[in-house]
């Protein structure tokens, strides 16, 4: 029987793995099984240019469908995998079984549902995929006031886009500040001020006590600070849940994420996992990286392993976010730091995170040079912390 790599999922990680297999000379079959009805597409623009109508579905395709066909990669749309038969090396989807020699789980994650609104709500939106954003876009003409629950990067990107479209936007964050888990207080304050300057209202340290319904629509949110917030629509951005529910107890997981090693192998033979559904050990800490970079790099690691090249995954994380005229670029992970130094030059600002003298991360806002230095120097020791406080100083030789 012909060797077959079956990839479950249809996002960045899935198509990247398929294309890399062909690039590295894999001669067997490659089949992508996706629940969506679209070819794999870029997701970061969904909350920005796709929502505003500046780009079409076809503009977002990661790889042209013609190229996918030329590479002899089969994409099966609108198919739901319900089980993996490890004994017979088959995936089970609805009424059929599909054989695999190698299986790659690239199922990503789904939005965490809003606890107080479990039934069908017409104007509650979860903005994770193309269909979600299209549904929101179709309702925009009827929306004046919109509440966004969750002050992470995705929620803030949506706030920026919707405010640019002239909507009245309110962001609700239950933590003490926006970006509480992913950025220092200085970065959060800078970005918060940018939103306030644009007219966005932000409530921090608030919880929703009650949702007021009018038919199947949410008409207001009652907060625990006695505020009643009238709204025409609600967006919930309160985290995600890995799509691993179809995998049984045979697979080792942590908080529903598939645990993988440095080769992105699961604990089952010939079964790999990549992208947002995974968790792995990074510098002694179990880590989830929900980013395009991680999806692409893990996909590359798996493709190499399948063709006989064992390269271990040693990521240097980086991320980005576009909000208004702010280009926010992040190198490293903002965790376990004990000091932050601000460097500012005109409209450029960057925040440098340290653990003692080790550079942990850099948040660069409209400062591409600081971002590139951050990518290069994260993990190194600073020679003179005092020099970092001088925004005009050249710090390229201040690390070793």
Higher-pLDDT residue of 396 and 19 is: 19
pLDDT in tens, 359-386: 999 999 999 999 999 999 999 999 888 8
pLDDT in tens, 174-186: 999 999 999 999 9
> Which residues, other chains included, contact 256 with Cβ-Cβ below 8 Å and sequence gap of 6+?
241, 242, 244, 245
Global confidence as pTM: 0.95
If we measure between CA atoms, which residue out of 139, 179, 138 comes closest to residue 155? 179
Per-residue confidence band for 193, with pLDDT thresholds at 50, 70 and 90: very high
Segment 19-41 shows an average pLDDT of: 98
Q: What integer pLDDT is reported at residue 1 of this predicted model?
A: 65
pLDDT in tens, 202-214: 999 999 999 999 9
Segment 329-334 shows an average pLDDT of: 97
- Per cent of the chain over pLDDT 70 is 99
Q: How far is CA 285 from CA 257, 279, 288, in A?
A: 14, 10, 10
Q: What integer pLDDT is reported at residue 216 of this predicted model?
A: 92
Residue 120, phi-psi category: left (phi > 0), alpha (psi -120 to 50), beta (remainder): beta
Note the helical H segments in the chain: 12-23, 65-70, 130-139, 153-164, 185-197, 292-306, 368-377, 385-388
Q: What integer pLDDT is reported at residue 118 of this predicted model?
A: 65
Dihedral of the alpha carbons of 271, 273, 279, 282, in degrees to the nearest 10: 90
Dihedral of alpha carbons 203, 207, 208, 209, sign:
negative
Residue with tokens 């479209």: 165
If we measure between CA atoms, which residue out of 106, 110, 47, 48 comes closest to residue 239? 110
């Amino acid at each position: 029987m012909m060797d077959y790599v079956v990839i479950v999922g249809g996002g960045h990680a899935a198509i990247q793995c398929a294309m890399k297999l062909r690039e590295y000379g894999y001669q067997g079959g490659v089949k992508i099984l996706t629940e969506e009805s679209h070819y794999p597409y870029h997701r970061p623009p969904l909350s920005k240019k796709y929502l505003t109508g500046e780009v079409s579905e076809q503009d977002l395709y990661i790889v042209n469908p013609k190229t996918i066909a030329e590479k002899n990669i089969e994409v099966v749309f609108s198919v739901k995998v319900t089980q993996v038969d490890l004994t017979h090396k088959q995936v089970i989807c609805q009424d059929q079984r599909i054989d695999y020699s190698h299986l790659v789980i690239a199922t990503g994650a789904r939005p965490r549902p809003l606890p107080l609104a479990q039934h069908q709500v017409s104007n509650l939106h979860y903005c994770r995929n193309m269909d979600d954003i299209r549904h929101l876009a179709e309702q925009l003409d009827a929306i004046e006031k919109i509440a966004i629950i969750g002050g992470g990067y995705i929620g803030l990107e949506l706030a920026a886009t919707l405010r640019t479209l002239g909507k009245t936007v309110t962001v609700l964050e239950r933590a003490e500040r926006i970006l509480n888990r992913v950025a220092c207080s200085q970065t959060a304050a800078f970005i918060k001020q940018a939103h306030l300057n644009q007219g966005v209202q932000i409530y921090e340290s608030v919880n929703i006590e009650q949702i007021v319904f009018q038919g199947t629509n949410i008409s207001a949110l009652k907060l625990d600070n006695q505020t009643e917030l009238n709204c025409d629509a609600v967006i919930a951005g309160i985290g995600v849940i890995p799509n691993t529910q179809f995998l049984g107890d045979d697979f080792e997981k942590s908080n529903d994420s598939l645990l993988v090693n440095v080769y992105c192998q699961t604990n089952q033979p010939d079964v790999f996992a990549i992208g947002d559904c995974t968790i792995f050990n990074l510098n002694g800490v179990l880590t989830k990286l929900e980013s395009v970079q991680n999806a692409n790099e893990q996909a590359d690691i798996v493709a190499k392993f399948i063709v006989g090249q064992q390269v271990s995954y040693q990521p240097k994380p980086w991320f980005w976010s576009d909000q208004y005229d702010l280009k926010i670029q992040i190198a490293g992970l903002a965790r376990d730091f004990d000091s932050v130094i601000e460097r500012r030059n005109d409209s450029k600002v960057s925040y440098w995170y340290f653990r003692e003298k080790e550079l942990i991360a850099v948040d660069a806002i409209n400062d591409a040079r600081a971002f590139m230095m951050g990518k290069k120097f994260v993990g190194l020791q600073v020679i003179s912390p005092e020099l970092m406080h001088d925004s005009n100083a050249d710090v390229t030789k201040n690390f070793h």
